[in-house]
Structure 1
Amino acid sequence: MDKRVAPEWKVPVPEVRVDLPPLKLYNSLSSSKVAFVPKRGKDVTWYCCGPTVYDSSHMGHARSYISFDIIRRVLVDYFGFNVKYVMNITDIDDKVGFSILFCYFVDQIIKKARQNYLIENYFKSASSFSQVKEDIRAAIKLLEAKSKAHPEPDQREYLKREVSRIRTLLTSRTSVMGMLTGAQDALAAYLDAKHGSSISDYEIFEALPRRMEEEFRNDMRSLNVLEADKLTRVSEYIEPIIAYIERIIHNGFAYAVESGSVYFNTKKFAETEGHFYAKLVPTAYGDAAKLASGEGDLSTTEVEKRNHSDFALWKASKPGEPAWPSPWGRGRPGWHIECSVMASDTIGESVDIHTGGVDLKFPHHDNELAQAEAYFGHSHWVSYFLHAGHLTISGCKMSKSLKNFITVRDALKQHSARELRFAFLLHSWRDTLDYGVDTMNQAIAFNKTITDFLFNVSHTLRLLSSSKYATTMDLPDNQDLSNALSTAEEEVFEALCDSIDTKRAMLAIRELINASNQVECAQPLVSGSMHLLPRAQQCYTLAAFILRLLCVFGAADRTALADAWVASYHSSSVNGNPWPISRDHVVKAASKPLWVSMVAPKKETLAAAFHGSALACKQFVHEVHDVASNARDVAALLSNFETTLKRDFNLDLNNMSNDANAVFDTALKQALGECATLKRVQMGEVEALETEAWPVVARLLYATADLRQGVRLLAQSGGPLKVQLLTTCDRLRDDYLPVHGIRLQDRADIATDKADLPAIGLVEAKLLTTERREKAERVAEKAAAKAVRLMAKMEAGKQPPSEMFRSQLDKFSTFDEKGMPTHDATGKEISKSQLKKLQKMYDAQAKRHEDYLTSLDS
């Protein structure tokens, strides 16, 4: 047979013509990047294949749904499309299809539900140790048979190990419950094989998917994946599915068989003019293994099908399986028909975008297309098919047998949702993504780059608010930075038009931050900088641009700073024009502490930071008092600080509650008074938290930093307490504040080498913990290297200089009373020039030996 080639894809003819961005998407139907043209102007319909909810969601799910969430957000928030996003939940399923994405043979809902039910009842009734052992032996036999028949080598090895493990369990000294727990999965499979067909309580088939669906949705929320506009469930679509199948039969593309099943006639469809079967993977037509992967192990035999490649639209149910009445007898839907029906019902006979994992291309998506086109009678049901790439774990496929199966919840214990999203953003959505150390280190590093940049922007704005030059100086902009912003805008626009290339867009953000850092290195900012205002304007604008873009990607929350950047899909052409954000706007924004972060403030977060800062202050004040109780200038500093806390926040460090919320509420009332603003803060309104609550926290942080700065300056002026006071100041910076998610950095004027206003702000505690660990590691490495050098020096100094040359008889033969050589090994007298060099070596060893002896004495 000649190689099959899908028909040429054609650009959709829009029903509504509007100006569209030059966006191209990689379309699996054309295997190329093509212009994105929705049918109805900027209104986009999108159907996404959702999960089969039989078990916990894993990183394979995250690969698809985070990727599609990013694309969806870009279409809506960057390009201005109106997207109707529909996703299904498969809560009826019996397929055991081999999935490249999941990389193991998944248990199906029907079996899983039955097994859960059977094993739960078995646990309740099991009392005879001998009967339990007998059943486990029977389960081992079933497991052995599976281990020999399984087509996957990794899975065969896994099952063999399970057989060995459970046999060992049988001979161990353990309780009945211990034995049941250890052999639970094998026992469940055995009980299902023995008793599954006798189950008549069909409610058990609903309980498992409902529970796992809720878990899946919670996991997606934890990953900041937007909810679908419409969520559909197979179990709610039985009647529409039956009607859909009846129409396909009426159109001549399906047939019922004696058993009560209904099959799609692939041969008839493929041979009908205007239709083409397997558009996505034409060469897979007739591939027995791939076809079987979409049918399932509960299917009937091949005998009743007219063609080997035909697939089930409706399956006659056997005892122990859920069933619904239909014109062909009691049964349940086939896997592929579900999506065709739900997408057709919620969207119609034309779908702009259809998405799913790359492993679903064939047979699932190709069968979906065939069903819908057979139903509607045309060949263009889906315009754009987008497939997310595979996911591997440290270079290997994800598999329970390889013990690298990672659930979303497991991943979130190791990394934040933002770090995971950065990992996806730094890779193409359609390429294989390797979830491993290198990938996550890149994501963590990018997160730190953004965090550090925003921390410095926040400090720059604080410098501006405290500077007398803020509104008087009008120095020129830095043209290099203006050009860098213009370049970044253009690069991001081109990247996102190029099939949503977020990796390229992220690199543009990094380059923009690098450009800003270079300017900072060349022209460092301090409190009295004459160029503070233009630089603050630049930093503020860059931060607004970056935060707005990260909001589009779902990697940052909406904040006032992000909203300051008014962006659409076009470039604002900064180069040669005034900055998009005026200096007056920046001066006004910096008039009080501005929230500069990827995370929108929450009341509990601000309360924890305020209380944490107060606790750190309490510890610091007590230690300073203990060290310098008789120093009047230090005592005056501490007294003034405590007076300020009482006046501004009604805060008494010596009589402070352990309840962070109570302490913060008291401070808010003192700072804001009883007013409507206070109520908005207490209700958790983001705007009020940013503009009213955060400044209260910031003022305490600034007061803390200023107190420490005052103590440091007094200590540095000299005196017997200098070392102790500076050590206490270091502990506040390095230990007491970081545990509460507060970073404090000392800053200095490089020109004068004088201490400047320190930088202080909130940073996620995990990042600060990493910084502390890395700093400790650097100190330890430095100390270890110093110790090695010292040991080497000690070793070199052990030998007295008088013995140094005497041991080199291959070079010298005669020596004077000090041990200096007079003749070489051949008996020839040492020349004056050579003797001069040897004397230098002798003197150097004499010094080393003297140091060695001194170290022994000490």
Structure 2
Amino acid sequence: MPKAVVQERPDPKWSPPVGVESSKLHLYNSLTRRKELFVPQGNVVTWYSCGPTVYDDSHMGHARSYVSFDILRRVIQDYFGYPVNYVMNVTDIDDKIIKRARTRYLVQEYEKTLTSMEQLYEDVAAAMEHHNTVIATTTDPDKRKMLMDEVLKVKSVVDSLRDCVKTNKSSGEVSEKQKELLVISSSVLGEWLDRQKGKDVTDNSIFSDLPRHYEDEFNKDMEALNVLPADTVTRVSEYVPQIVDYVKKIIDNGYAYESGGSVYFDVGKFDSEPNHYYAKLVPEAYGNREALEEGEGALSTVNAQEKRSPNDFALWKASKPGEPAWPSPWGQGRPGWHIECSAMASAILGESMDIHSGGVDLKFPHHDNELAQSEAYYDNDHWVRYFLHTGHLHIDGCKMSKSLKNFITIKKALEETSASHLRIAFLLHSWKDTLDYSSNTMEGARQFHKMVSEFNLNIQDLLRRSGCTSEVWTSSEVKLQEVYDNARTGVHKALCDNIDTRTSLDIIRNMISEANKYMNNNTKVNSQLLVNINSYVSKIMTMFGAPIGDQSTSGNQSSDQIIAVAEVLGKVREQLRQYSKDQSLDANGLQRQLLGLCDSIRDELLPPLGVRLEDRDDGATSIKLVNADELMQEIKTKKEQELAKKQEKEKKKAEQAAKQANKETMKDPVDMFRTPEYSQWDANGIPTHDKDGTEITKSQTKKLTKQMEAQKKKYEKWLAQQQQS
């Protein structure tokens, strides 16, 4: 038998599809003011985020930045798969902290030594006089208004306290008013006391206790907002030796100088070098005196001769009486504001990092100063590869400002809405653009959350009723699969495009809308396809940090929940037993009782347990496990809306009745009885025969005459009113 000839086969060759290019992550880089391809320097993305200055409660401006960066961080590491080393600082040495700590301490000490009401009146009056001198020199109209509002509030409480004393109110009421005055006037009184005694405050613990307290509060707020903790947290107070060494090297490199116990960065020298230039982020702000002075801090009192140029900024500040101090080669002092981030970021991440982030208000001078001093330290021009800045937060269209005290604290915001709703509000806007925090913004977030949650509950209910089925595909399934595929492609492109969460959520909204149409238009549905869509939505929302559904109800129920449901079942069973024993109930009565019990189970017994029952068109019942608090709030809102609707209906009914009564009043009495009820009338319009031609009796005539006389009086009164008007 001849041997088979084995033909050689060519090696299979592969080539990518023509004209197809995979999307890659691009980020808007404030350094270049355009979107750049994201290329990390190493296997781990190094990221430094400017943290809070902890001297007061965190506000919605903080939420805007830290929730937005939390979303970016989650997408970069959980969607694009980059490991991230996230470092955040806490500023616990700062002019604002020193001033706030001093004034709070002095007001507390003042309260302890307060001896009489007259002393309080006199001291508040003196404090107000000092406050008025500050107002007179304030040119910013918004700040001036804020200061004047403080004066009016203090005056109002002073007047109220005087009234209490004059009218011999109880000592308890007077004491409460006195406490109120101390609280309201604390800012004004604190400034006055600080001017007199601030330099005598020497206990360093006063300056550390305040930031520790507010750092703890900040961490609680971030946890409540589901913000991931930083991998490393650095505090200025713990890095003072490293900061001193950092400043020394900048001096050695020729870019800083000592003057009067302080150290200043030489902007002119740095800017004159061919490989360096100052104000990379905001070159148009170069020389902005107001911004530079604000960056130096409220306690800065530098003599003009101390600096070589007004553009120079402090790396190290000589401490004055009443300020905390640390040893340095230049004398007792403390770090400048900007140097802390350069020294601490360098200590953890080295001479170059991938990402540096912060609010847009930090661009100049803070981040520009960071760049300059860090590049002077390393003598490089790549200390930061990508600078990310979140946009401003406005409150109902007005810029929020802590210095103007028109801010909303995170705690207050979370009393009015949920953390998920807040996060979705941020997701529905670009992270780098201005966001307006308003009722309309939050309503949009609530509606999106409700839509996604209801879709998730509907799919869970579908699985409970029919299990996971895969029907033979029709054109409906093919169309929905195409919608699903396009949505995943669209979300990927949106996330690659500067992590565009707004477009991503729009795509998800449209996909859910199509899935709902599919369920409504088909008696048999492919539940596996719907489960795939729901799983994808849940995955994306969880990745964004806004998981959908009550997580406590997604798996096995706790024993407490099972017992609670069993107790409801026991109550219903006992009620049914009572009905069966009640001999007074006939069939109709028993039916009413049973239907009432059914409504009670749905509306009263199960909602507090987070169980929502919904009647379906096919006669079956949908069971949805939801957050109990949200369900009770939903029921409360629905009842309030129904009550408002009922009241509006009654109001319209009353208005209609009044309108009809007024119409009757306007009717000429001669014509009031000319209706189909009667067939003949006398000269005065009084009926003489009814519609059948039967003569009206004397008693009826008498009654009708009285009615006409009454109408005549109303009519004449109405005519007189019309003539007057």
- Give TM class, smaller chain: 0.7 to 0.9
State the distance in 2 between where 1:789 and 1:537 align.
Answer: 52
Deviation at residue 507 of structure 1 after TM alignment: 1.1
Q: Does 1:599 align with 2:551?
A: yes
Q: Does 1:111 align with 2:119?
A: no
Q: Give CA-to-partner distance per residue, 1:50-98, whole Å, 9 cap, x none.
A: 000111111110000000000000000000001111000000001xxxx
2:358 counterpart SS class: strand
Q: Please show how residues 762-841 of structure 1 align to structure 2 within 5 Å.
A: 762-774=626-638, 777-778=641-642, 781=645, 784-785=648-649, 788=652, 818=679
Native 8 Å contact 1:21 1:79 kept in 2: no
Native 8 Å contact 2:469 2:528 kept in 1: no
Q: Please show how residues 289-688 of structure 1 align to structure 2 within 5 Å.
A: 289-299=290-300, 300-399=302-401, 404-465=406-467, 478-524=477-523, 531=524, 535-556=526-547, 597=549, 599-600=551-552, 606=558, 609-627=561-579, 629-630=581-582
- Note closer, same or farther for the CA distance 1:816–1:409 as it changes in structure 2 (3 Å cut): closer
Deviation at residue 786 of structure 1 after TM alignment: 8.1
**1:33 pairs with one of 16, 35, 38:** 35
- Note closer, same or farther for the CA distance 1:315–1:75 as it changes in structure 2 (3 Å cut): same
State the distance in 2 between where 1:426 and 1:344 align.
Answer: 35
Q: Which residue of 2 aligns with 1:66?
A: 67
Q: Which residue of 2 aligns with 1:246?
A: 248
1:156 counterpart SS class: helix
Deviation at residue 323 of structure 1 after TM alignment: 0.8
Native 8 Å contact 1:609 1:741 kept in 2: no
- Note closer, same or farther for the CA distance 1:336–1:197 as it changes in structure 2 (3 Å cut): same
Identical pairs, percent: 44
State the distance in 2 between where 1:125 and 1:603 align.
Answer: 60
2:551 counterpart SS class: coil
Q: Does 1:719 align with 2:557?
A: no
Q: Which residue of 2 aligns with 1:748?
A: 617
Gaps of 5+ in 1: 1-18, 95-107, 525-530, 558-596, 635-714, 750-754, 821-858
Q: Is the deviation greater in 57-66 or in 197-206? A: 197-206
State the distance in 1 between where 2:578 and 2:248 align.
Answer: 87
Q: Give CA-to-partner distance per residue, 1:646-702, whole Å, 9 cap, x none.
A: xxxxxxxxxxxxxxxxxxxxxxxxxxxxxxxxxxxxxxxxxxxxxxxxxxxxxxxxx
- Note closer, same or farther for the CA distance 1:114–1:815 as it changes in structure 2 (3 Å cut): closer
Gaps of 5+ in 2: 1-20, 166-173, 682-725
Deviation at residue 762 of structure 1 after TM alignment: 2.7
Q: Does 1:80 align with 2:42?
A: no
Native 8 Å contact 1:154 1:401 kept in 2: no
- One-letter amino acid of the structure 2 residue matched with residue 349 of structure 1: E
Q: Which residue of 1 aligns with 2:721?
A: none
Q: Give CA-to-partner distance per residue, 1:596-633, whole Å, 9 cap, x none.
A: x353559998455434434544554455555554489x
State the distance in 2 between where 1:53 and 1:442 align.
Answer: 32
RMSD: 3.2
State the distance in 2 between where 1:448 and 1:459 align.
Answer: 16
Deviation at residue 554 of structure 1 after TM alignment: 0.7
- One-letter amino acid of the structure 1 residue matched with residue 144 of structure 2: R
Q: TM-score, normalised by structure 2?
A: 0.82
Q: Does 1:127 align with 2:115?
A: yes
- Note closer, same or farther for the CA distance 1:603–1:24 as it changes in structure 2 (3 Å cut): closer
Deviation at residue 722 of structure 1 after TM alignment: 2.5
Q: Give CA-to-partner distance per residue, 1:739-780, whole Å, 9 cap, x none.
A: 33221111232xxxxx12432423342244224523552475
Q: Does 1:731 align with 2:600?
A: yes
- Note closer, same or farther for the CA distance 1:289–1:404 as it changes in structure 2 (3 Å cut): closer
Q: Does 1:759 align with 2:623?
A: yes
Q: Which residue of 2 aligns with 1:147?
A: 135
Q: Give CA-to-partner distance per residue, 1:276-305, whole Å, 9 cap, x none.
A: 100110011011111111001222223211
- One-letter amino acid of the structure 1 residue matched with residue 596 of structure 2: T
State the distance in 2 between where 1:779 and 1:166 align.
Answer: 41
Native 8 Å contact 2:469 2:527 kept in 1: no
- Note closer, same or farther for the CA distance 1:193–1:618 as it changes in structure 2 (3 Å cut): farther
Native 8 Å contact 1:29 1:384 kept in 2: yes
Deviation at residue 735 of structure 1 after TM alignment: 2.5
Native 8 Å contact 1:745 1:758 kept in 2: yes
Q: Please show how residues 136-285 of structure 1 align to structure 2 within 5 Å.
A: 136-171=124-159, 172=162, 173=165, 174-175=174-175, 177-257=179-259, 259-285=260-286
Native 8 Å contact 2:553 2:626 kept in 1: no
- Note closer, same or farther for the CA distance 1:401–1:804 as it changes in structure 2 (3 Å cut): farther
Deviation at residue 402 of structure 1 after TM alignment: 7.3
- One-letter amino acid of the structure 2 residue matched with residue 766 of structure 1: E
- One-letter amino acid of the structure 1 residue matched with residue 114 of structure 2: A
Q: Is the deviation greater in 437-446 or in 131-140? A: 131-140
2:132 counterpart SS class: helix
Native 8 Å contact 2:470 2:527 kept in 1: no
Q: Give CA-to-partner distance per residue, 1:188-246, whole Å, 9 cap, x none.
A: 22221111111221111111111111111111011110011111011111111111111
- One-letter amino acid of the structure 1 residue matched with residue 488 of structure 2: E
- Note closer, same or farther for the CA distance 1:85–1:521 as it changes in structure 2 (3 Å cut): same
Deviation at residue 537 of structure 1 after TM alignment: 0.5
- Note closer, same or farther for the CA distance 1:799–1:419 as it changes in structure 2 (3 Å cut): closer
State the distance in 1 between where 2:374 and 2:262 align.
Answer: 19
Deviation at residue 142 of structure 1 after TM alignment: 1.7
Deviation at residue 376 of structure 1 after TM alignment: 0.6
- Note closer, same or farther for the CA distance 1:154–1:612 as it changes in structure 2 (3 Å cut): farther
- One-letter amino acid of the structure 2 residue matched with residue 228 of structure 1: A
Q: Give CA-to-partner distance per residue, 1:253-276, whole Å, 9 cap, x none.
A: 11111x101111111111110111
Native 8 Å contact 1:746 1:759 kept in 2: no
- Note closer, same or farther for the CA distance 1:724–1:348 as it changes in structure 2 (3 Å cut): same
